[in-house]
Structure 1
Amino acid sequence: MSSSGAPSEIVVVGIGADGWASISPSSQSLVLEASVLWGGSRHLSLVPSVDGQQRVPWPSPLAASLPALLSEYAGRPVVALASGDPLVSGIATTLLEYGAPVRVVPAVSSVALARARMGWSSESCEVVSLVGRPIDRLVLHLAPGRRILVLSSDASTPAAVASLLTSSGWGASTLTVLGDLGSPSESLQSGVASSWSGDSPALNVIAISVSPSVEQRAPASVSKPRPGFGLASWAPGLPDSAYENDGQLTKRDLRASALARLMPAPGQLLWDVGAGAGSIGIEWMRSHPTCHTIAIETDPERAARITRNAHALGVPDLQVVEGRAPSALSGLDAPDAIFIGGGATREGVLETCLAALKPGGRLVVHGVTLETEMLLARAYAAHGGELTRIGVEAAEPIGTFTGWTPARVVTQWALDRAPV
């Protein structure tokens, strides 16, 4: 949305849980002198009454109603109230995404207050927002000894986080729920995730000291790794058993090879074409919290399985498109990288992917059939790049002895598109 359909300026003023007294005199003047004041009902109730001031509570649902609100006040100056720092999982971020002309006057954020109460430096902890976001996003950040500050959606978030930690093998983690930070009713409740109980205030931040459960510290089976502890790494090549699959899975060593050539970078988008179990797209997103994936899969059962795997491995925002390439690729955002794990020989798939790839983008294609291998040989001759045959052998029992068991050889074509 362009700023032409928005107020001439929106000054977003942060206000603490302790209310009107928490903001500076200059910020108080901004609020009192505003002809139009937006905010949540709770925030608006904290401000002294002003004759003639128009006070507008945020509409619900906010995302669907905000464009109309911006248009209604187009060309007029507006002041809006927000909790703490409006750019920490706050309304200012949303307004900026709509292209509105925003000026932010922050108060002390809940993150800063939580760090102060816990004695945690900013360098020693991670901040994860679950405000309006899937709770499974937290899984990506779980590793032994990590400190995490979770921005909660509501009073139900602490119990849900405790349940998630327990079910994923981190039940020994310590939770501290910091409620109504900065207000006279500020509270603190601590406990272990596996035995968490009790109510929490609606406004809360959760501090987590991550620790694996006792059973998770035991040696892991090769065939079945520990659910949480063994999956803490963001490096490519998670154990194959980390994925629910029906056999259509890019195996661990091949996955690591493909991702090394796809080169995930913060904020970039991958198309995972013929995604199978979704492992390439999932590990692309696990490499950095701002990476995105669109997984294209024609089989409905596999498409549903990709979604389950994405949630289980901490990247629930992965987008699944159920359909057959190349037609299913139409209208998708242009990718920074493409992996084709299946269907490369289908007419138009490779050509469509090459045409869609951004300048500076990367393409990796795997093939196990002679037909795909011949296609990739022709592509290599026409476009260059890197053509590799990868054979992996694993030691397995042969009677009372041990021998090498080869996996199917895979031909890999990798291409780096030159930047403009």
Structure 2
Amino acid sequence: MTGVDAATRVPSPVTVVGLDAAGATPHPALAPVLAAAGLVVGAARHLAAVPVPAGADTVTLGPLAPALHRLDEAVAAGVPAVVLASGDPGFFGIVRRLRAAGLPLRVVPAVSSVAAAFARAGLPWDGAAVVTAHGRDLRPALNACRALPLVAVLTAPGAGAAEVGAGLVGWSRRLLVAEHLGTDAERIREVTPEQAAAETWSDPHVLLSLAASALDRVAAGGMRSDNQPAAAPAGGWALPEDRYAHRDSMITKSEVRALVVARLRPRLGRLVWDVGAGSGSVGIECALLGAAVLAVEQDPQAGATIRANAATHAVTVRLVTGRAPQALAGLPEPDAVFVGGGGADVLAAVVTRQPERVVLTLAALDRVAPAVGLLRAAGYTVEGSQLSAARLADLPGGSIRLAATNPVVVLTGERP
């Protein structure tokens, strides 16, 4: 038997070729695979940038389903197929969707748009986080920029530099916007968030969000190729009170803080408000776990303490100095809120913003029932616990006693 049965034929892989975002010459592998291709798939700008064979069918990418159908037919028929993409197609690129469709693939990557943008800026990026706003809510990407010192954002129409800039007003950030990388229309600009929000930017573009300390923070390097927080901070959380500057015991005790932070569920991509922040310990530990944090505090002296504590723990916490609930007006929508100070009017203002989770601590029992009622009336399911810890304390002669701390009620409201 000299032929190969069609049922046992190994399908030819679809060749996915990245076109260099830095504008370099296409990979040498592109010419022969294009010359042999019977089907070429790509965005209009990619199809226009390469010599597509005269006899090859083309599919211009828009909705992906028709292209996947044509590629599946080509593989089944043994027709060589090529997909053109930007930069590294395996990095937030089309490879994921092609693999999910079950297509056999050969990938030929090029320089990604993120690598090209950092190269144009002359910046190292092994400490950068990379997030995408393609086809999804912008808030997680925006909160990553608020939380981390060095972030690259893969933008999309309606979720680009103008929208990110508007969301970063009030945060100390510089934005580098790289438009049309690798083309004659390439433009690189460094702007403030306010300037970015006021501009009209052409697509495609990549945005780099840079904190003032970005280069200092990544200079030390590390074993990971990003600066996103690990599952647990190196120093832990629920840290002892003496790890924070504070006055007059204006700090959430570590035992209480452990439960509060657990209930807030902070992580990268989420925004946490710390209202009545005091020393800032709760917000800082949320930031250590990757969340973007807004600390609201009416006392300027306490605000200075929050800034100092955030610097000590090397996290970004945006401070809003003012009295809640008035100071909450106009702040970005939170995912979770800790209310550590203020009356029923503060809680009432918080629930009108409908965060997913609201956590509050109460020392006075007569405040518990009204708070539970307010949360339930706003549509939250409520659970609560009273925490009463006793710490070991030395006595003369080597004996040990238990020193009780003040009991505190922790309430958690969660939107169904």
Q: Given the superposition, is the C-alpha separation of residues 392 and 100 from structure 1 closer, same or farther in structure 2, using an over 3 Å criterion?
A: farther
- 3-state secondary structure, aligned to 1:80: strand
Match of 1:54 in 2: 57
Match of 1:133 in 2: 136
Match of 2:42 among 19, 23, 39: 39
Q: Given the superposition, is the C-alpha separation of residues 150 and 7 from structure 1 closer, same or farther in structure 2, using an over 3 Å criterion?
A: farther
Q: Distance in 1 between matches of 2:156 and 2:101?
A: 22
Do 2:388 and 2:405's aligned partners in 1 also have CA atoms closer than 8 Å?
A: no
Match of 1:188 in 2: 188
Q: Which runs of 5+ in 1 are unaligned?
A: 213-232, 238-250, 267-282, 290-307, 314-319, 321-365, 370-388, 394-402, 411-420
Q: Does 1:82 align with 2:85?
A: yes
Q: Distance in 1 between matches of 2:288 and 2:160?
A: 23
- 3-state secondary structure, aligned to 1:73: helix
Q: Distance in 2 between matches of 1:66 and 1:236?
A: 49
Match of 2:258 in 1: 253
Q: Given the superposition, is the C-alpha separation of residues 367 and 71 from structure 1 closer, same or farther in structure 2, using an over 3 Å criterion?
A: same
Q: Given the superposition, is the C-alpha separation of residues 145 and 254 from structure 1 closer, same or farther in structure 2, using an over 3 Å criterion?
A: closer
- 3-state secondary structure, aligned to 1:90: coil
Match of 2:209 in 1: 208
Do 2:147 and 2:287's aligned partners in 1 also have CA atoms closer than 8 Å?
A: no
Query: In the alignment, residue 12 of structure 1 is paired with which amino acid?
Result: V
Q: Distance in 1 between matches of 2:13 and 2:336?
A: 39
Query: In the alignment, residue 133 of structure 2 is paired with which amino acid?
Result: L
Match of 1:310 in 2: 335
Larger radius of gyration: 2
Q: Does 1:121 align with 2:118?
A: no
Q: Given the superposition, is the C-alpha separation of residues 18 and 149 from structure 1 closer, same or farther in structure 2, using an over 3 Å criterion?
A: closer
Q: Distance in 2 between matches of 1:257 and 1:310?
A: 14
Query: In the alignment, residue 200 of structure 1 is paired with which amino acid?
Result: W
Q: Given the superposition, is the C-alpha separation of residues 210 and 312 from structure 1 closer, same or farther in structure 2, using an over 3 Å criterion?
A: farther
Match of 1:25 in 2: 28
Q: Distance in 1 between matches of 2:34 and 2:165?
A: 39
Match of 1:230 in 2: none
Q: Distance in 2 between matches of 1:256 and 1:36?
A: 54
**CA offsets, 1:49-85, max 9 Å, x none?**
422111112242x2x5455344433423311100111
How much does 1:48 deviate? Answer: 2.1
- 3-state secondary structure, aligned to 2:335: helix
Query: In the alignment, residue 391 of structure 1 is paired with which amino acid?
Result: S
Match of 2:175 in 1: 175
% of aligned pairs identical?
29
Query: In the alignment, residue 175 of structure 2 is paired with which amino acid?
Result: L
- 3-state secondary structure, aligned to 1:29: helix
Q: Given the superposition, is the C-alpha separation of residues 367 and 178 from structure 1 closer, same or farther in structure 2, using an over 3 Å criterion?
A: closer
TM-score of the aligned structures, taking structure 2 as reference length: 0.50
**CA offsets, 1:186-236, max 9 Å, x none?**
111221112332222211111111259xxxxxxxxxxxxxxxxxxxx9787
Kindly report which structure 2 residues correspond to 1:326-345, keeping only aligned pairs within 5 A, or say none.
none
Kindly report which structure 2 residues correspond to 1:271-282, keeping only aligned pairs within 5 A, or say none.
none
Match of 1:73 in 2: 74
Match of 1:104 in 2: 107
Q: Given the superposition, is the C-alpha separation of residues 201 and 27 from structure 1 closer, same or farther in structure 2, using an over 3 Å criterion?
A: same
How much does 1:93 deviate? Answer: 2.2
Q: Given the superposition, is the C-alpha separation of residues 312 and 390 from structure 1 closer, same or farther in structure 2, using an over 3 Å criterion?
A: closer
How much does 1:164 deviate? Answer: 0.9
Match of 1:11 among 10, 15, 19: 15
Query: In the alignment, residue 136 of structure 1 is paired with which amino acid?
Result: R
Match of 1:271 in 2: none
Kindly report which structure 2 residues correspond to 1:284-303, keeping only aligned pairs within 5 A, or say none.
287=289
Q: Which runs of 5+ in 2 are unaligned?
A: 1-7, 214-231, 239-255, 269-284, 292-332, 339-355, 357-381, 391-403, 412-416
Q: Given the superposition, is the C-alpha separation of residues 161 and 179 from structure 1 closer, same or farther in structure 2, using an over 3 Å criterion?
A: same
Q: Distance in 2 between matches of 1:7 and 1:311?
A: 50
Q: Which is worse superposed, 26-35 or 131-140?
A: 131-140
In the comparison of the two structures, how many residue pairs are matched?
253
Do 2:157 and 2:203's aligned partners in 1 also have CA atoms closer than 8 Å?
A: yes
Do 1:13 and 1:80's aligned partners in 2 also have CA atoms closer than 8 Å?
A: yes
RMSD in angstroms over aligned alpha carbons?
Answer: 4.5
**CA offsets, 1:339-368, max 9 Å, x none?**
xxxxxxxxxxxxxxxxxxxxxxxxxxx976
Do 1:155 and 1:201's aligned partners in 2 also have CA atoms closer than 8 Å?
A: no
